[in-house]
Amino acid sequence: MTNPLSFEDLQGILHRHIESLPDYRHKGPNTRYRIPDAALGAFGIFFTQAPSFLEYQRRLQQTKGQNNARTLLGVAQIPCDNQIRALLDPLAPSALDPVFVEVFERLESHHLLAPFRVLDDQLLVALDGTNYFSSQAIHCPHCLTRQLPNGRTLYYHAAITPVIVCPGQSQVVALPPEYIMPQDGHAKQDCERAAGKRWLSKHAAQVAPRGATLLGDDLYSNQPFCAMALQHRCNFIFTCKPDSHPTFYERVAFWQATDAMAAREAHHWNGRFTEVTLVRYLNDVLLRRGDDALSVNWFDITVVNATTGEQLYHNSCITNHRLTSDNVVDVAQSGRGRWKIENENNNVLKTKGYHLEHNFGHGKQYLAAFLLSLNLLAFLFHTVLEWSDKQYALLRRVLARRQTFFQDIQALMRYMVFDSWEHLLHFMIRGLELESQVDTS
């Protein structure tokens, strides 16, 4: 039985969309290297987590007449690093969005996202912004700016990196990012909330029909964004802090004083001690003043250690999900899952080999953003392969530390040329004497 979504499948999706990338060069004798070769070469750096990947492959080409960039990734000719940067700089990162979308659709068609579904078959889509470049010297027209206390200007890049999350799942599924950068026709500096609205306009059509609940911090819990989410047929659970919503919490206090607030308690053994979750909730609270105020539902969740009484977690959120004693704990736990975009996404990208904040190349136009999209695609491909490729999953289990797994791949690709991704995995499995553990069913 073949893998439901193999490396070759993922590679095919990537190749189809990279082949259609525009080439803004003037035709002439100096167009030796193809745009797809530059994009696939850069992707290889992120996929192998080896900054020197292309240097090693050039050396293998010279000594062995073949290289892994060609056999595994389909790079016909390897441009030098400066050529890659120059070729990719004019390309808008949105050109890679269809790769994320197609992988998501393939995951859905193979039912690989079924374990992520909660709240009557909903997928939880967490939105959050993160910075991926900053400098006081290097900048481009797409940089954001901030004045520092010393009077100097900080130039930086930021993006929203949405992911599908689920309480109890240790992995996340990357969706197309949205870059926070100056927009044509707008005098004000771009911001995370505006980028979130653009992301909804572009991608809600793909996720909403499959059942989607958006998760976000207090930045998103305002009427325009909530109304837009509903307009695009998305549900939402957003953090809602008292200090940024004084009118709303006056109404919450009023209903609390009239004993209209309900509560639900749940106990859960986490493997070390019992957690007690107390959720208080209200339905139909107006979010702001005015005749057009949106009616939302509110809950407050507190988690404590049953043995010591120590408070482990507390938050307050608004949602359009109708809250009942049967579902309020599940809704609250789903809202709590928003933190996975920090723990399983941003922190992994920053500290587990993807080097999110490293300057792989800034460029004069879109280079930094385009490279980040390639990096996020590498992260997505690794996640998918761990689910769908049994040999990959076996090696990840045996070589438990992510760093060990990628160091082995880097070392092998430095000295040997493999005919295919399958050839590389077979070699590693034989070397570790794991043939008997390969599940061929």
- Condensed to tens digits (0 to 9), the pLDDT of residues 161-214 reads 999 999 888 889 999 999 999 887 677 898 999 999 999 999 999 999 989 999
Residue 20 structure tokens: 């259609």
Residue 324 CB partners (closer than 8 Å, separation 6+): none
Q: Are residues 144 and 264 in the same domain?
A: yes
Q: Are residues 179 and 221 in the same domain?
A: yes
**Predicted local distance difference test score (pLDDT) of residue 436:** 81
- Look at strands 163-165 and 129-135 and give their pairing: unpaired
Asked which of 322, 349, 376 is the last residue of a domain, the reply is 349
Residue 146 CB partners (closer than 8 Å, separation 6+): 153, 154, 156
122-126, 289-293, 299-303, 359-363: segment of lowest average pLDDT: 359-363
Angle at 434 between CA 429 and CA 438, to 5 degrees: 90
**Is residue 439 very low, low, confident or very high in pLDDT (cuts 50, 70, 90)?**
low
Asked which of 291, 319, 349 is the last residue of a domain, the reply is 349
- Is the confidence at residue 384, as pLDDT, over 60? yes
**Predicted local distance difference test score (pLDDT) of residue 29:** 63
Calpha distance 341→199 (Å, rounded): 16
- Is the confidence at residue 2, as pLDDT, over 70? no
Q: Are residues 203 and 69 in the same domain?
A: no
Residue 67 falls within a domain, yes or no? yes
Range of the structural domain that residue 246 is part of: 113-349
DSSP calls for 225-245: HHHHHHHTT-EEEEE--GGG-
In degrees rounded to 5, what are phi and psi of residue 144? -90, 160
150 versus 440: the higher-pLDDT residue is 150
Q: Are residues 135 and 50 in the same domain?
A: no
Residue 179 falls within a domain, yes or no? yes
Q: Are residues 313 and 377 in the same domain?
A: no
Residue 68 falls within a domain, yes or no? yes
Helix (H, G, I), strand (E, B) or coil at 158: strand
CATH no. for residue 243? 3.90.350.10
20-34, 121-135, 373-387, 396-410: segment of lowest average pLDDT: 20-34
DSSP calls for 181-199: ---TT--SPP-HHHHHHHH
How confident is the model over 305-323, as pLDDT tens digits? 999 989 999 999 999 999 9
Q: What mean pLDDT do residues 254-280 have?
A: 91
Q: Are residues 370 and 323 in the same domain?
A: no
Q: Are residues 131 and 160 in the same domain?
A: yes
Q: Which amino acid is at 172?
A: V
Calpha distance 43→340 (Å, rounded): 25
**Predicted local distance difference test score (pLDDT) of residue 28:** 66
Q: Are residues 200 and 221 in the same domain?
A: yes
Residue 62 falls within a domain, yes or no? yes
Asked which of 302, 320, 349 is the last residue of a domain, the reply is 349
* Residue 75 burial (C-beta neighbours within 10 Å; 0-12, 13-18, 19+): buried
- Is the confidence at residue 441, as pLDDT, over 80? no
Residue 104 falls within a domain, yes or no? no
Q: Are residues 167 and 290 in the same domain?
A: yes
Q: Are residues 328 and 377 in the same domain?
A: no
Residue 126 falls within a domain, yes or no? yes
Q: What mean pLDDT do residues 60-84 have?
A: 94
Q: What is the mean pLDDT of the chain?
A: 91
**Predicted local distance difference test score (pLDDT) of residue 435:** 80
2-6, 265-269, 282-286, 365-369: segment of lowest average pLDDT: 2-6
Closest CA to 402 of 437, 435, 378: 378
Give bridge partners of residue 304 from the DSSP assignment: 276, 311
Angle at 13 between CA 167 and CA 382, to 5 degrees: 40
- Is the confidence at residue 26, as pLDDT, over 90? no
Calpha distance 196→14 (Å, rounded): 25
Q: Are residues 228 and 374 in the same domain?
A: no
Distance of CA 73 to the CA centre of its chain: 23
Contact criterion met (CB below 8 Å) for 335 and 315: yes
Residues 92, 94, 95, 100, CA torsion sign:
positive
% the chain with pLDDT above 90: 75
237, 241, 260, 282 from 251: Cα distances, Å: 19, 14, 11, 10
Q: Are residues 73 and 208 in the same domain?
A: no
Domain count, the chain: 2
Residue 257 falls within a domain, yes or no? yes
Angle at 107 between CA 104 and CA 113, to 5 degrees: 100
**Predicted local distance difference test score (pLDDT) of residue 355:** 81
**Predicted local distance difference test score (pLDDT) of residue 1:** 41
pTM comes to 0.93
How confident is the model over 274-297, as pLDDT tens digits? 999 999 999 999 999 988 999 999
How confident is the model over 223-247, as pLDDT tens digits? 999 999 999 999 999 999 999 999 9
Residue 100 falls within a domain, yes or no? no
